[in-house]
Amino acid sequence: MSNTYHPLLGKIDEICIVTPDIEKTASGLLKLGIGPWRIMEINPQNTSEQTYRGKAVPYTIRAAFTEVSGTMFELMQPMDGNSIFAEFLKEKGEGLHHVSFNMNGITCD
């Protein structure tokens, strides 16, 4: 019998946190060794086909990205308009939005 462990969902590819203050959250995570962060604005002028709940809806968010040991960390700060991130922040407050796994190469088809 093999001693190799293969987690069912595979490795974590991405962790996303929604925050009302991207600089504060990025600074706190940097103290824990997660960073440095690349911060950018995503808005209708630089991103096409924005949608919310299946409908074309313009919105603006600030996003920050960093990679640690092959895992992408994302911070999302809603700024304007309706988005899944604005909805999450309003209904649940700051916190973990989603975790994405690589599924060991298994597709969802």
Domain locations along the chain: 19-97
Which pLDDT score, from 0 to 100, does residue 64 have? 98
Per the document, the length of the chain is 109
In CATH, the number for domain 19-97 is: 3.10.180.10
Residues 94, 18 contacting (CB under 8 angstroms)? yes
Q: Enter the pTM of the model.
A: 0.86
Span 74-89, pLDDT tens digits: 999 999 999 999 999 9
**Structure tokens, 17:** 């946190």
* pLDDT tens digit sequence for 55-67: 999 999 999 999 9
Q: Is the pLDDT score of 17 beyond 80?
A: yes
Burial 53-69 (b: 16+ CB within 10 A, else e): eeeeeebbbbbbebeee
Computed on alpha carbons and rounded to an integer, the radius of gyration of the chain in Å comes to 16
Cα–Cα dist 62/41, whole Å: 4
Residue 9: what pLDDT? Answer: 82
